Structure 1
Amino acid sequence: MRTFILSVQHLLAMYAGAILVPIIVGTSLKFSTEEIAFLVTVDIFMCGVATFLQVWKGTGTGLPIVLGCTFTAVAPMILIGQTKGISDLYGSLFLSGILVVLIAPFFSYLVKLFPPVVTGSVVTIIGINLMPVAMNYLAGGEGAKDYGDGKNILLGLITLVIILVIQRFTTGFLKSIAILIGLVLGTVIAAWFGIVDVKQVGTAHWFSLPHPFRFAHFSFDFGATLVFFIVALVSLIESTGVYHALSEITGKQLERKDFRKGYTAEGLAIILGAIFNAFPYTAYSQNVGLVSLSGAKKNKVIYGMVILLVICGCIPKLGALANMIPLPVLGGAMIAMFGMVMAYGVSILGTSDFKNQNNLLVIAISVGLGAGISAVPDAFKSLGDHFSWLTQNGIVIGTISAILLNFFFNGIKYQQKQEDMK
């Protein structure tokens, strides 16, 4: 019974992230309520599969790591889905997953190209790209008849306040599910306003197995593949921190081959996610805290959560239930979650040497270009469609700028010196 309860706790800790990504992406790409419900359930199912790949020693690190949707892919998925189409979106995700598998044996060496000044800049740019999505949802959804209505703003702010109060006045497990509680209570309050649609739950099926290529088969785009590959690299760097943290918590020493298997497992998760028209996955840090808090360091707890995820991923009614959450409520929660992405980027930058003027220039130019192009995507439109993958995507141009500028100013030797100092 204790193992089951701990498995449920892990499920709840990652559930908000698991359902928010498909709802946000599906809504932004104008999917129907039935299609969004499918996205939610297939994503939950694939979170279970991805986590199994990471936890099982045969394919992953063998640590109690939970893989879930990465928020860093949300803005690129929306942009590529709207401009290139669903086929290019999933085909490019598939290719990026293959690239991750191919570089997995060498990634520990490539990390030198992504010191904190680069990684922090990229994550900050991604956070900046996400915030307009949150604000649009807070106002009721772009194109909605009641866009900007005071009722929408009030609902979103109430949801945000609930999350902040839980974060401030609770500890342990409750604190780890603050977003989920905020979404539930925000939806209950929204029901009093009469803006919650419960009909979709009644029409949804009780059981359905996920199947591949539900929305589209693959087509490929170089620019989109590059975007998702960059996002995957950032996720791998974040996951490396999770590997180290859980290695210390569990007392299991990791060797280079374990890191290789961990990176490979994440690449396989991206590939399978694309095949089933789901999402890219990364290690969830919130579940690391739960392992430390509960003291349950055995993989059987995570295996129990995997079984629960797979079962939940076969029940479309649960997907429809999650899709009931009104957009303003989602917007309130997204301000907290996406703001944390941006704050995380700033915290990474905080480990850089700000006394080094070169680092300040790297951050200034890369973040400036990334944020600027995101705000004015047509600034370089005259350069033509052949370069649109670079000139109209803030994440790509910001990342490439950060890598090149860091190499120009600091070089590999400086990065190695910084690592040796640690």
Structure 2
Amino acid sequence: LAMYAGAVAVPLLIGTGLGFNEAQMTYLISIDIFMCGIATLLQLVVTRFFGIGLPVVLGCAIQAVSPLILIGTKSGISAIYGAIIAAGIFIVLIAGIFSKIKVLFPPLVTGTVITVIGLTLIPVSITKIGGGDAAAANFGDPTNLLLGFVTIALIIGVQVFGKGFIRSIAVLIGLIGGTILAALLGLVDLSAIAHAPVFHLPQPFYFGLPTFDLWSIVLMIIISIVSLVESTGVYFALGDITERPITGNDLKRGYRAEGLAVILGGIFNTFPYTGFSQNVGLVQLSGIKTRRPIFFSAIFLIVLGLFPKVGAIAQIIPEAVLGGGMLVMFGMVAVQGMRMLSKVDFMNDKNLLVIAVSIGFGLGFNMMPTLFSQMPETVQMFTGNGIVMSSLTAIVLNLFFNGLPKETDEVTELSLQQ
């Protein structure tokens, strides 16, 4: 339940952004739930090559939403899954040397990128609060605004007055409450549930065979590396809670399992997976530090994913209600990036310059992608996406001003522990 709202938000956003029909959305959400369970099992079961063996839950990476919509819009749905498969293979191959690559992604870089990802997604949630289509005549209808703000108020209320587990599912409670209010107003359409089949099996390449576009692959690899950095923090947090030292071999197996989950996501037409930080707090809260509850959770997700009517339930959430919940989630993504940046030395003006220029490029180029319309198409592939420009700018400027750490291995280990 803690991860559910964040997990289904990804297929809902991407499917809506790419204009998927009802049947496609139902499949997308159902297979997402199914693959969350499979991806979680890959991390729970420890083999020689895969699995970190911690009580970790994997879900779709929210930071992949905007890039995947861009890839789908420019190069087609097949390029989305080609890029995901290629990124997954890349992760598996670099798992053993990621600690060395990670020096390119200190908190200065990752914090900046995740902040930009959150900030660039917030306008999407605002559009949904208004009704989903800014060009529509009824955009900003008072009823939609009421639903959006009531959802936000419910989430805030649960966070303020709720305790323990209830607080951890605040977004889900907000979405349910907002949908109930919409149903009372006669604004909930149940046809998606009625039309969905009772049972289905996952189908490889449901949306067709993948195509491999270089620009799309590069973009997805960047997002996957950022997700790996985030997952690393989850692994060390769980290692600390469960009092288990995390070794380099543990990380390699964890990275490979995540890469394998991403590959399977591409094959079965869902999205990249990453360790969900929402569930780390539950391990600490419950005091249950074994993997057994997570095994049951993973199996439960797999079973749910086999019944499309369950997945179709997510489709009945009105746009305005979804927008209210997403506003909070995307805001939290941005705040997570800011928390990473709190580890940065702000007394150093060079660091401030790296952050300022990277965020400026990220938000500015995202709002005005036609700025480079007179440049060659190859250049436009990179400049048209603010997240890519923010990532590349932060990496290059950080290397230019700060260089590589002298004691690479020692610094890497320290940053991993942090």
How far apart, in 2, do the equivalents of 1:381 and 1:216 lie? Answer: 31
Shift of 1:144: 4.3
How far apart, in 2, do the equivalents of 1:136 and 1:111 lie? Answer: 36
**Which of the numbers 356, 370, 376 marks the counterpart of 1:384?**
376
Shift of 1:408: 0.4
Partner of 2:114: 123
Partner of 1:29: 18
RMSD over aligned CA atoms reads 1.5
Shift of 1:414: 7.0
1:291-370 to structure 2, matched below 5 A, reads: 291-370=283-362
Can you list the C-alpha shifts for 1:318-353, whole angstroms capped at 9, x where unaligned?
Answer: 111111001100000010000111111111111100
Partner of 1:7: none
Q: Secondary structure at the match of 1:282?
A: strand
C-alpha contact (below 8 Å) 1:70/1:282 kept by paired residues: yes
C-alpha contact (below 8 Å) 1:115/1:415 kept by paired residues: no
Q: Secondary structure at the match of 2:347?
A: coil
**Which of the numbers 135, 139, 142 marks the counterpart of 2:126?**
135
Q: Which moved more, 1:63-72 or 1:27-36?
A: 27-36
Q: Secondary structure at the match of 2:205?
A: coil
Residue 395 (structure 1) aligned with residue 387 (structure 2):
yes
How far apart, in 1, do the equivalents of 2:102 and 2:136 lie? Answer: 44
C-alpha contact (below 8 Å) 1:37/1:316 kept by paired residues: yes
C-alpha contact (below 8 Å) 2:103/2:405 kept by paired residues: no
Aligned-partner residue type, residue 103 of structure 2: K
Aligned-partner residue type, residue 29 of structure 2: V
Partner of 1:3: none
How far apart, in 2, do the equivalents of 1:415 and 1:21 lie? Answer: 39
1:4-19 to structure 2, matched below 5 A, reads: 12-19=1-8
Can you list the C-alpha shifts for 1:279-325, whole angstroms capped at 9, x where unaligned?
Answer: 11100111111111111111111111111011000000011111100
Q: Which moved more, 1:225-234 or 1:42-51?
A: 225-234
Q: Secondary structure at the match of 1:352?
A: coil
Partner of 2:155: 163
C-alpha contact (below 8 Å) 1:34/1:320 kept by paired residues: no
Can you list the C-alpha shifts for 1:220-274, whole angstroms capped at 9, x where unaligned?
Answer: 1111111111111111111111111111111222211110010111111111001
Shift of 1:203: 2.0
1:23-172 to structure 2, matched below 5 A, reads: 23-58=12-47, 59-142=50-133, 143-172=135-164
Shift of 1:413: 2.8
Can you list the C-alpha shifts for 1:357-401, whole angstroms capped at 9, x where unaligned?
Answer: 110110111111111100100101111212222111111111111
Count of paired positions: 411
C-alpha contact (below 8 Å) 1:65/1:283 kept by paired residues: yes
Structure 2: gaps of 5 or more residues: none
How far apart, in 1, do the equivalents of 2:28 and 2:136 lie? Answer: 22
C-alpha contact (below 8 Å) 1:18/1:44 kept by paired residues: yes
How far apart, in 1, do the equivalents of 2:243 and 2:104 lie? Answer: 29
For the structure 1 residues 300 and 388, does the alpha-carbon distance in structure 2 shift closer, same or farther, using more than 3 Å as the test?
same
Identity of aligned residues (%): 48
Q: Secondary structure at the match of 1:412?
A: coil
How far apart, in 2, do the equivalents of 1:271 and 1:89 lie? Answer: 12
Q: Secondary structure at the match of 1:383?
A: coil
How far apart, in 2, do the equivalents of 1:327 and 1:188 lie? Answer: 13
Q: Which moved more, 1:38-47 or 1:80-89?
A: 80-89
Shift of 1:145: 4.7
Aligned-partner residue type, residue 96 of structure 1: A
Aligned-partner residue type, residue 37 of structure 1: T
For the structure 1 residues 335 and 415, does the alpha-carbon distance in structure 2 shift closer, same or farther, using more than 3 Å as the test?
farther
Shift of 1:24: 1.2
Can you list the C-alpha shifts for 1:58-77, whole angstroms capped at 9, x where unaligned?
Answer: 12101111000111001111
Aligned-partner residue type, residue 51 of structure 1: T
How far apart, in 2, do the equivalents of 1:243 and 1:153 lie? Answer: 39
Shift of 1:216: 2.3
Residue 218 (structure 1) aligned with residue 207 (structure 2):
no
Shift of 1:150: 1.4
Shift of 1:179: 0.6
How far apart, in 2, do the equivalents of 1:372 and 1:200 lie? Answer: 38
Q: Secondary structure at the match of 1:103?
A: helix
Aligned-partner residue type, residue 48 of structure 1: G
